[in-house]
Amino acid sequence: MVEGPIGVGKTTLARRLAESFGSELLLEGAEDNPFLERFYRDPRSAALQTQLFFLFQRARQLKELRQGDMFQPVRVADFIMEKDRLFARLTLDEEEYKLYEQVYAHLAVDVPQPDLVIYLQAPVDVLLRRIARRGRDYERHMDRRYLERLAESYMRFFHDYTASPLLIVNAAEIDFAGNDDDYRLLLERIRRVRSGRHYFNPAPLNL
């Protein structure tokens, strides 16, 4: 599973990995959330609706995954279920978060354990440039401070993460979307991870 803050390249990498492994691809589908653009315009007015939509969406996806082909050797996703609570803690006030936790408990989501989590990191300036370059309408009003807080939340979360093997990737200088050499280098590193915590910090080429 691939994770990291908005704009870091989760979906792009997940798509390429699914193609390389010939596997089923499970995508977050943020563009399907009808509250997301409203949230970026005015976070306080739409935080709860936005978060509950994502919670129900991910719970449904994981339920369908459990009911699917259990003999599928590899599945690739651009999210882990734990991210939902990470976003909820970041965006909801105390009372909203209590309600969110009640809903989460009633859903009783059966989350499969990932064989590997790939955590992509990049500075906020890099994230903002990539977000602007992809030009999604619902991201036009994203606040820089929100993105900074989100990146910090991801760093704190993965600092203590031990549930699965973890590969932490500095994605600031590599282009696994458009550069096949960069992608192959990362893919080789991914194939070698079997357990524990690992780091991939490729140095930029000096041309």
**What tokens were used for 97?**
């978060």
Q: Given the residues 32, 42, 69, 78, select the one marked as catalytic.
A: 78
**What tokens were used for 206?**
């000096």
> Cα 106 vs. chain centroid, distance in angstroms?
24
Helix axis angle, 180-192 to 10-21, nearest 10°: 70
- Identify how many contiguous H helices and E strands the chain contains and give both numbers: 8, 6
H or E element in which residue 199 lies: strand 197-200
CA–CA gap between residue 18 and residue 138 (Å, rounded) = 26
**CB of 89 within 8 A of CB of 48?**
no
Place of tokens 């990498």: 13
32: annotated active-site residue: no
CA–CA gap between residue 81 and residue 61 (Å, rounded) = 10
> Cα 148 vs. chain centroid, distance in angstroms?
15
**CB of 183 within 8 A of CB of 176?**
yes
Catalytic residue list: 78
